[in-house]
Amino acid sequence: MLKSIQRSGRKYWDLYLLLIPTAVYFVIFKYLPMIGLQIAFRDYMPRLGYWDSPWLGLDYFRRFFSFYSSWRIILNTLTLSALNLLFTFPLPILLALLLNEMRAAGYKKLIQTVTYAPHFLSTVVIVGMITAFCSPSSGVVNSIIKIFGGEPIYFMAKREWFRPLYVISEVWSTMGWNSIIFLSALTGVDQQMYEAARIDGASRWQTLWRITLPSILPTISIMLIINCGHVMSLGFEKVYLMQTDLNIDVSRVISTFVYEQGILATQTSYASAIGLMNSLVNFILVISVNWISKKLSEVSLW
Amino acid sequence: MKKLVSLLLALILLCGCAALADAGIVTASGFPVVTEPITFTVMASQSAIQPDFSTMVIIPVYDEMTGIKIDWQCVASSVRSEKISAAVTSSEMPDIFFKCNISAANLQKYGAQGAIVDLAPYLEEYAPNFWAYAQENPDVLAAVTTPDGQIYSLPAIADAPATRMNKKLYYNKVWMDKLGLEQPTTLDELYDFLYAMRYNDPNGNGEIDEVPMSETTGTLFQVFGGLFGVGNRGTHSSYYDMDTETGMVRYSYTSDAFRECLEFMHKCYEEGLIDQECITAKDSRYTALAAQDQLGCYFATNLALLAAKDAENFVPAEGWIEGAVWPTMRSHLHSVGAFVVTSKCENVEAALRWVDYFYTDEGVTFYHYGIEGQTYVKNEDGSLSFTPEILAQVTGDKSYDEVVSQVGPYCGGNNPTMMSWPGYAGAELSPIPMASAEAILPYTPDVIWPIFTYTDEELKIVNSTGSDLNTYAKKTAVEFLTGERELNDEEWSAFLAQCDEMGVAQMLEVMEGVIDRVEAIMGTR
């Protein structure tokens, strides 16, 4: 083992050299800061520092789980994430497949540009747009509802509309961008297979099912595994900005709770503990999804 | 650079030693403050429009007056909290944190670690002006004193009523004239007043698009709650107040009076007298409504957010509903953490003498307006304004705040001084907000609880049980307001039961203790 490392080290030293900056980056910016994670177990006082603040063990975790609303917050996080994944994951694949089948190059480019564009808008702008579009008095959505004789709906104040609004806007803003990786996978599919299929008399539908999809399946699996790693970490800004008094029941998630406790109430240690727990769940999810994927399709991250 | 730093360090060290060697260099009163020149390093929070503090007009003048040289370390207000905690964590602290708006919780934390100095033993002798003010207005003292009796900061003080009333009331005069309306003085009149504004088409476009009243739900609950006697301890305490009948602390949202308030509000909301979009309302909405001639009543601290031509439509309130409370009133304390002395400082006495001048009328004027004749002039009505030469610099590229920041450091708030008439240079002291505040002042609570400080134990409960309860109560109140949930006996008792389960009793016990402590200092109990 050691010997083989030595041998490859001598042989490919230039490649290893190229690896160093990235490795250094990860050590400095990702691993060293983990020393600070211990404040989740301590009563952190800046002056005493990470090592000398009094040790509290699992106090903060106990406190979180004995907190009245903790389960509701966890449940909200999971529901919103699952819904989000359910829609924002398959739709880019669908879009990529559609674009791939498209023959008119100019139109295809147009569609691509239009669907990418929202990716570059900041969350604050997107939420501002949602609020403006959904306003019961002046919003465009309600104007349309009124034209068809319906009653205007105050979307932002309805608990049942929070999740749909979140997911729809998320799909709108990420679909085009996320389809890029699938499009690039599609260009890698061997054209000879399509030709062979056509000669054998396969319809377009059949080539899609039998050739295109299986060819990009590894990419899809990998992307799914990576996405599962983010299940618990919903974007904080968007949920927080969309929160109103009336949807608070469903819009209070772990990340907004961490903000409330850590930043607004300056309980750094408590917030870190909740954040740490959150990351732990993500970590377990990635590992297990990776393991399942390995068993089922022999595709995995490692 | 390195040389400069070491020179500076040497200088600071030298001054420090000098101060240590002779604590008696501080004079008893007046200027200069010290008999031998000393230097303080001061970390100051600087907003984006402010220049380096050392270039401001009043700074060298004050250095000269006091004999204390200030070495300013300006940190951008956006990264202030990180800089402060970094400074406290390392040993490279400044002598003083200035305008840094350090929260009460952090002050207690830093104080417990010994990073900052307890000023309580020094105040009477070395900050006599602040001390005198705090004796007269014990709510200030109550807010800066920790549960253990230390005082870690000098605060920003709001003295003029117009600066203490965070929401004032202005009526749309054009609409009132058109409809022949008088300002309401009873509950029924208020309802009729709003009703007329909504349905008698005062903006004359033939559509019912008028919004008689718009605000955030939080402010609406305060203002309407006040109509029924809820919120009788001021704006800092929007969830707890005093039950005037039993003399006990109560949770406002579960009181019978608040139920009455919700019933009235729901009636107004259903009829469109309250903005249908109040749940997502923010400042930009009122500005837009006013611009489209759709707004009847405007609540704000001043009219600065309205376009000049829209602001002309509004007149100050001449009073309020008889027997009602106007709860949106601050204590005399605007914010804590404006002036904090660290354990690095070798001469706490001199530091306090340095800042204490700003708590005199003369000092307030100096802090905001600078020097008479040179940077400001007195107007006939007793108010002050910057000189025409300074105001002439306000152009399209340069805002008012940016221009006047050349004179003194007040922009960005949290100043260790007083917002008092006439020396304070904020928009609250312009005539219309002043008039509104004067007229509503008789309706404000007699006793106003300051922002509370908590012990560690209390804080844990307040931040978990307390904030959870408040979130739930506010949410349910909004549901009752919009009619999402019908306000009947059954739903109301379900709401009370849920609040009970979430720990109202425990919270009341905690708050009872906190309030006892505060009122003992204020001398109101």
Contacts of A154 in chain B (CB under 8 A): 276-277, 279
What is the CATH number that goes with domain B2-162+334-367?
3.40.190.10
Mean pLDDT of all residues belonging to chain A: 88
Q: How far is B122 from chain A (nearest CA, A)?
A: 24
Domain range list for chain A: 14-57, 60-297
CATH of A60-297 given 3.40.140.10, 1.10.3720.10, 3.40.50.720, 1.10.10.10: 1.10.3720.10
CA distances from A268 to A36, A77, A237, A255, B315 (A): 11, 21, 19, 14, 46
Contacts of A142 (CB under 8 A, 6+ apart): A134, A135, A136, A152, A153
What's residue A47's pLDDT? Answer: 66
Minimal Cα distance from B105: which residue of A? A266
Return the half-sphere exposure (C-beta side, CA atoms, 13 A cut-off) of residue A95. 26
pLDDT, tens digit (0-9, with 9 covering 90-100), for A234-264: 778 899 999 988 898 899 999 898 888 887 7
Say whether B113 and A48 touch across the interface (CB within 8 A). yes
Q: Among A47, A68, A245, whose Cβ lies nearest the Cβ of B474?
A: A245
Strands (E), B133-273: 154-158, 168-172, 211-213, 240-243, 248-251
pLDDT, tens digit (0-9, with 9 covering 90-100), for B388-423: 999 998 877 788 888 899 999 999 889 999 999 889
Say whether B482 and A157 touch across the interface (CB within 8 A). yes
Contacts of B112 in chain A (CB under 8 A): 45
CB pairs below 8 Å between A and B: how many? 71
Q: Among A67, A135, A245, whose Cβ lies nearest the Cβ of B464?
A: A67
Within 10 angstroms of residue B7's Cβ, the number of other Cβ atoms is: 10
What's residue B3's pLDDT? Answer: 52
**Cis before B422 (ω within 30):** yes
pLDDT, tens digit (0-9, with 9 covering 90-100), for A206-219: 988 889 998 898 88
Same fold: B2-162+334-367 with B167-328+454-525? yes
pLDDT, tens digit (0-9, with 9 covering 90-100), for A105-124: 899 899 999 999 999 999 99
pLDDT band, residue A228 (cuts 50/70/90): confident
CB B226 within 8 Å of CB B324: yes
Helix (H, G, I), strand (E, B) or coil at B434: helix
CB A171 within 8 Å of CB A130: no
Q: How far is B27 from chain A (nearest CA, A)?
A: 34
Q: How far is A126 from chain B (nearest CA, A)?
A: 15
CB B355 within 8 Å of CB B154: yes
Say whether A46 and B85 touch across the interface (CB within 8 A). yes
ipTM over 0.85: no
Q: How far is CA A191 from the centre of its chain?
A: 32
Within 10 angstroms of residue A129's Cβ, the number of other Cβ atoms is: 15
**Mutation target among B84, B88, B269, B280 for the A interface, most CBs of A within 10 A:** B280
Token reading at A17: 């050299």
CATH of B167-328+454-525 given 3.80.30.20, 3.50.50.60, 3.60.9.10, 3.40.190.10: 3.40.190.10
pLDDT, tens digit (0-9, with 9 covering 90-100), for B107-160: 988 888 888 999 999 999 999 999 999 999 999 999 999 998 999 999 999 999
Q: How far is CA A122 from the centre of its chain?
A: 16
Q: Among B105, B460, B479, whose Cβ lies nearest the Cβ of A246?
A: B479
pLDDT, tens digit (0-9, with 9 covering 90-100), for A152-162: 888 888 889 99
- Beta strand B68-76 with B38-46 is parallel
Q: How far is B85 from chain A (nearest CA, A)?
A: 7
Contacts of B106 in chain A (CB under 8 A): 266
Say whether B484 and A246 touch across the interface (CB within 8 A). yes
Q: Give percent of chain B above pLDDT 70.
A: 95
- Beta strand B154-158 with B168-172 is unpaired
Residue B8 has pLDDT above 70, yes or no: no
Minimal Cα distance from B499: which residue of A? A68
Q: How far is B465 from chain A (nearest CA, A)?
A: 7
CB A277 within 8 Å of CB A261: no
What's residue B511's pLDDT? Answer: 96
First-to-final CA distance of chain B: 58
Say whether A154 and B467 touch across the interface (CB within 8 A). no
pLDDT band, residue B1 (cuts 50/70/90): very low
Q: How far is B304 from chain A (nearest CA, A)?
A: 23
Helix (H, G, I), strand (E, B) or coil at B110: helix
Contacts of A245 in chain B (CB under 8 A): 217, 279, 474-475, 478
pLDDT, tens digit (0-9, with 9 covering 90-100), for A6-64: 888 788 888 889 999 999 999 999 899 888 888 899 888 766 778 888 888 888 898 88
Say whether A265 and B110 touch across the interface (CB within 8 A). no
CB B291 within 8 Å of CB B307: yes
Q: Among B115, B276, B471, whose Cβ lies nearest the Cβ of A47?
A: B115
What's residue A5's pLDDT? Answer: 77
Q: What is the CA radius of gyration of chain B?
A: 25
Q: Which residue has the higher pLDDT, B131 or B13?
A: B131
Question: How far is B61 from B141, CA to CA, in rounded Å?
Answer: 31
CB B314 within 8 Å of CB B171: yes
Interface of B with A (CB under 8 A): 85, 88-89, 103, 105-106, 109-110, 112-115, 209, 217, 276-277, 279-280, 460, 463-465, 467-468, 471, 474-475, 478-479, 482, 484, 502-503
Question: How far is B327 from B335, CA to CA, in rounded Å?
Answer: 18
pTM over 0.90: no
